[in-house]
Chain A
Amino acid sequence: MSDTTRKPPATDRFGVIGVPRRRVDGRAKVTGQTRFADDLALPRMLHARLLRSPVPHARIRRIRTARARKHPGVQLVLTGKDLPNEFGILPVSQDEEPLCSEHVRYVGDPVAAVIARDELTAFEALDLIDVDYEPLRTYATPEDSLGHPEPRIHDYGEEGNIHKRAAFDFGDVDAALAEADEVLEDLFFYEGNTHLPMEQHAALAAVDADGKLTLWSSTQTPHYVHRALARVLELPAAHIRVIACPNGGGFGGKSDIFNHEMVVAKAALLLDRPVKICLTREEVFYAHRGRHPVLMRMKTGFKRDGSITGMQLETLVDGGGYGSYGVASLLYTGALQTVTYHVPRYRFRGCRVFTNKPPCGPKRGHGTPQPRFGQEIQLDKAAERLRLDPAELRLRIVEQPDTLTANWLRIGTIGLAECIRRVVEVSDWNDRFRKLPEGRGVGLACGSYLCGAGLPIYWNKLPQSGVQLRLDRSGEVTVFCGATEIGQGSDDVLVGIVAEVLGIDPFDVRCVTGDTGLTPVDLGSYSSRVTLMMGNAAIQAAERARELIASAVAEQLELPVSRIGFGGRRVFDVENAERGMDWREAVGLAEERHGTLGTVGSYTAPRPAARFKGGGVGPSPAYSYTAAVVEVEVDTSTGWISVPRVWIAHDIGRALNPTLVRGQVEGSVYMGLGEALMEEQAYRRLPPKLSGALVHKFPSMLEYKSLTTHDMPEVVTELIEDPEPNGPFGAKEVGQGPLLPIMPAVANAVYDAVGVRIDEVPITPDKVLKALDDKAKGGPGRYGPARFPEVEWPEAMQVPPPWEDGDGKAVNDPERKRAAKLAKVL
């Protein structure tokens, strides 16, 4: 990356950037012309359906498919032996099979596939496949999994049914807590929930005219799907093309690699006919990869002035049946505690277990909303204990910009204090907090999120995002990038940036994205990385194109290159704007002078400061910040909760297209209120004496509750713009961060309204009423988890914070020590 892309341009006078615009794909979306994966149809196309396990945990003794294969209209039946290679999104968790061959791990785990002339025929044939299961012990909760090492859900992982543990000490936390004037210890529980995209996952595979495989899929990560397909199908990646169709919502739920993608690809190769699958809504709940349920114990020391002396956090993470992104999710439950407020010493212990439920993974905020929920409620409790206003407390302890945190995260700009001040002002916080009548209250909370994971999922030194431009004498500009439009507006960001740099209109730019056969690699739409990484790559590619054009025009006008300006679809002399030419003519001149025009740009994130194992999760080129105030009304007789208003301020660095930024903020409020008030990926264990069943309680959009438009409050959005040097034109992320403060702000508002603490989500009327009953009986008026089970923690990695002469490395290396010990024994 060149230096020019790191610095935001000196001028704030932009043509496209910062101007509220209709998104480039808006017309197609509202007129129904966007072609989602399930809209695709090819001649001679067949349809696939998956047979899924009806038992939560079992060995497969035998699968008989003969009857299904003979069913009229059935073309092919696949089982695990047809697709023997395992896969997984993380290199350390290659634990999934396209179809389970010996072992099923949750109700919904696929064991066979039927490919038939239509979906109804395929569905009917599923019932003709006989699978003989040998039931195994069912693990419904993390306590089950901690308590019983055998039988194992997976034969890898740390031990028994523990997938992964993490233990870090950044300084002496015991000493820090001993120095505190007040120490707060709390237990919190965050229930799992799912993404609920409107579009169900769909994939279509076909062998193209020259014999190569193409897969169209509703995926956020075509590059990772591409790699996994090559591995599973044992084909050269160069002979596979993955096209990410525009996603009808992703939220992290389509950033994994899915068995249905493998199955249709294999079937298309075997049959030499296009094969499509579209998951049912029920199957989307089984594909899941949603928010991990997390039990937390959080202990924080405060000085009387509000400053934090140290913090200790333990998380018990319910992973479900597979690894997925789980190792990263686990580390994320401990990574971002330090980026909002100054935490000089920090201890983290985390444990992810396997259970017999659909696998959890990344959902908007990936692993961080759970501890953020706890942290922001605990701060609210601390403020009361310290007799400080919760906003004032936070303003006192906001972390400084350009800081290395205790756990070695490098922070650039921090707009958090300004976010807090702004929401305090627009919400009339000072006239409302503790001043509203009984039953009405306001709560404040903050949050922060990455602008892109600093490291790729698999180890490499390659660019994390690439952009290509082609321009020709017609004046047309086409931009190519592997990034995926999942509704978040990445196509608009890409086009907007190119148009800005070249001084043309976004409508002049054609955009091709998410196609491994045509576009340079971008790692995908996850971790809020696209605007920053793709944006910087796009700036570089566009600036290189501008240089080519500027040199040709300078020669023609007999001017130094430094006097050439771009804007209003013209290329001109900046000292005499009349002198110049229109865009098309300028591109033609450049083509004449340089030959065929094309440029590239690429981006690689700065190296993390952390140099200890596990320190790769958390680093990012930049962090966004958000503060929110939520108002609630709580009926003390029924516990009924209403949310009339939300005020939210987001540190965006710079809003590239304010319309889209506001949309993302409001969408986050919507999703956050769902998580706060009603969403639950809940399971039902039937009475074990009568049944071994463990099923999703309600895999439907009717009974899995999320807000409707009637439930959505008025939202006042404030954007805080303080350009971030690492961001394109100073921009930071907005896709995930604004979600984070909503859930704890609701909990804090409930406390302000009726004086009870609900230390878990969802916050429902029955829980509020239980807490009110408890309070009426003289109890603490709290509803939440009562205990944290015993977890045997491994020896912690000791990493001194920067201010304790640390260098980012662990002073001990438990793994190296274990290996040395083992060597001695041998």
Chain B
Amino acid sequence: MMRLPRFRYHAPRSVAEAATILAAEGDQAMLLSGGTDLLPNMKRRQQVPGTLIGLREIAELRQIDNGSGLRLGAGLTLTEIVRDARVRERYPGLFQAAVQVATPHLRSMATLGGNLCLDTRCNYYDQNYEWRKAIDFCMKKDGETCWVAPSSRRCLAVSSTDAAPALMALGASVRLVSDHDGERVVPLDELYHNDGIHYLARRHDEILTEVLLEPAAGWRSTYWKLRRRGAFDFPVLSVAAALRLGDTGAVEQARIVLGAVASSPLPAGKAAESLVGRELTDAVIERAAELASKRAKPMDNTDFTLHWRKRVTRDFVGYALRELRGDDMRARRVQIARHSLDAAV
């Protein structure tokens, strides 16, 4: 089997201690929070950090507090997230996203913070060392060219986190802590760059410690994920949507975010705006779906063909908005997800 490269391991017990170690170790160090993605990547030599700073011993990263809405520690496992009644009742979009990550075993190891910082993915990059050598490597690691589009000057690896689009649609923020500058809170959509290599605005010395959710009162949310199979697979398209309906049934506020069709989650602002002030009629939904699907720019570096992924974006936005309207989408959900999400907890 493939073996991990050698590395030094630290197991700090507090965020402050972790931040101090991270600052001292510099660029060759990486944070380990679950490791379900990082460790296989290390076996394939996609990342070869000399030092790993494990966050699992830090109790403060595993807390759930009420806050103004809800505060979720970045070290919570995805299983802990999906089992939390507050998450399921108030933030169904986050629940649906988290419960569709990978498999039950992986969700029991993988963390919320880890999923938000998940490395971008690409069929030319998520390969072992020998394979990447056979294509003379790629821009993202050890090479020059982006083989997805050889004329591209930036890396086109795909943002593959499920949690980020869901949380962006919910208007979440994240807290970043560092040894030198203390801490800052940024809206989640400012955490990402549409660049497969520099996909995170997190500075190297910062630790993502928690996710801050606004009160959910009046909001409805949902998350639809396209993947080949009912488990394991990363998204190759996802639609997160959240909206607030007024007494008349007209939309007062809306957010739609597309996942896995660029190097960052993509807010579909125009599509969301088109809903505001209107009732969710079929025509209104169709118009928003059309607008949102224009944002999707899938490339030929994931499962399924890119033209098909682009084309069905409209359908998936439609599923999300119809569910928020109150349509019974359970049968459709089972067809797409291949199982009932509630049964997967």
Contact = CB atoms under 8 A, between A and B. Distances in A.
- Please determine whether chains A and B interact with each other in the same assembly: yes
Nearest to B335: A642
A709 B307 CA distance: 28
A768 B274 CA distance: 32
Interface string B208-244: 0000000000000000000011111100000000000
A709 B133 CA distance: 34
B3 A120 contact: yes
Given A107-B134, A678-B228, A693-B134, A702 B233 contact: yes
Contacts of B85: none
Interface stretch (B55-63, B124-132, B181-189): B124-132
B82 to A, nearest CB: 16
B304 A766 contact: yes
A702 B147 contact: no
Interface in A43-90: 52, 54-55
A765 B131 CA distance: 29
B308 A765 contact: yes
B283 interface: no
A280 B1 contact: yes
Contact of B123 (A278, A639, A703, A705): A703
A687 interface: yes
A773 to B, nearest CB: 10
A708 B131 contact: no
A272 interface: no
Contact of B303 (A54, A107, A280, A703): A703
A709 B136 CA distance: 37
Contacts of B133: 54
Interface stretch (A148-156, A262-270, A630-638, A776-784): A630-638
Interface string A685-706: 0110011010111111011010
A128 interface: no
A160 B308 CA distance: 39
A710 interface: yes
Given A686-B135, A693-B136, A711-B230, A282 B130 contact: yes
A284 B305 CA distance: 25
A123 interface: yes
A113 interface: no
A60 to B, nearest CB: 16
B180 to A, nearest CB: 36
A710 B228 contact: no
Nearest to B308: A766
A691 B315 contact: no
Contacts of B130: 52, 54, 282
A113 B177 CA distance: 48
Chain B interface, >50% SS class: loop
Interface residues of A, number: 44
B141 interface: no
Given A107-B134, A635-B335, A687 B312 contact: no
A282 B231 contact: no
B228 A705 contact: yes
B157 to A, nearest CB: 14
Contacts of A707: 229
A119 B134 contact: no
Sorting the interface of chain B by its residue count into under 10, 10 to 19, 20 to 34 or 35 or more gives 35 or more
A697 B135 contact: no
B249 interface: no
A54 B136 CA distance: 9
Given A52-B130, A633-B335, A708-B231, A639 B308 contact: yes
Contact of B307 (A54, A684, A693, A766): A766
Interface in A642-695: 642, 678, 684, 686-687, 690-691, 693, 695
A769 B128 contact: no
B150 A687 contact: yes
Interface in B287-329: 303-305, 307-308, 311-312, 315
Contacts of B231: 708-710
A179 B147 CA distance: 55
A507 interface: no
Contacts of B303: 703, 705
A765 B307 CA distance: 12
Interface in A761-820: 764-766, 769
Contacts of A698: 123, 127
A711 B229 CA distance: 6
A693 B228 contact: no
A20 B271 CA distance: 59
A710 B339 contact: yes
B308 A54 contact: no
Interface in B123-175: 123, 126-128, 130-131, 133-136, 145, 147, 150
B289 to A, nearest CB: 11
B134 A695 contact: yes
Interface in B40-89: none
B13 interface: no
A708 B233 CA distance: 10
A200 B1 CA distance: 9
A695 B131 contact: yes
A36 to B, nearest CB: 13
Contacts of B230: 708-711
B335 A640 contact: yes
A702 B232 CA distance: 7
Given A690-B145, A693-B136, A710-B339, A280 B315 contact: no
A200 B145 CA distance: 33
Nearest to B302: A703
Nearest to A639: B308
A95 B309 CA distance: 43
A707 B126 CA distance: 21
Contacts of B229: 678, 705, 707-708, 710-711
B270 interface: no
A286 to B, nearest CB: 9
Contacts of B136: 691, 693
Interface in A709-766: 709-711, 764-766
Contacts of B250: none
A639 B308 CA distance: 9
Contacts of B3: 118-120, 123
Contacts of A686: 135, 147
A639 B231 CA distance: 20
Contacts of B228: 678, 705
Contact of B232 (A107, A118, A280, A708): A708
Given A703-B126, A705-B303, A707-B229, A282 B131 contact: yes
B338 interface: yes
Nearest to A687: B150
A222 B113 CA distance: 50
Contacts of B21: none
Interface in B1-41: 1-6
Nearest to A708: B231
A693 B138 CA distance: 13
Contacts of A200: 1
B128 A280 contact: yes
Given A684-B123, A687-B150, A765-B312, 12 more contacts: A280-B128, A640-B312, A642-B338, A678-B229, A686-B147, A697-B123, A699-B128, A705-B228, A709-B230, A710-B338, A765-B304, A765-B308
13 contacts: A280-B2, A282-B131, A633-B335, A640-B312, A695-B134, A702-B126, A705-B229, A705-B233, A708-B229, A708-B230, A708-B231, A710-B229, A765-B308
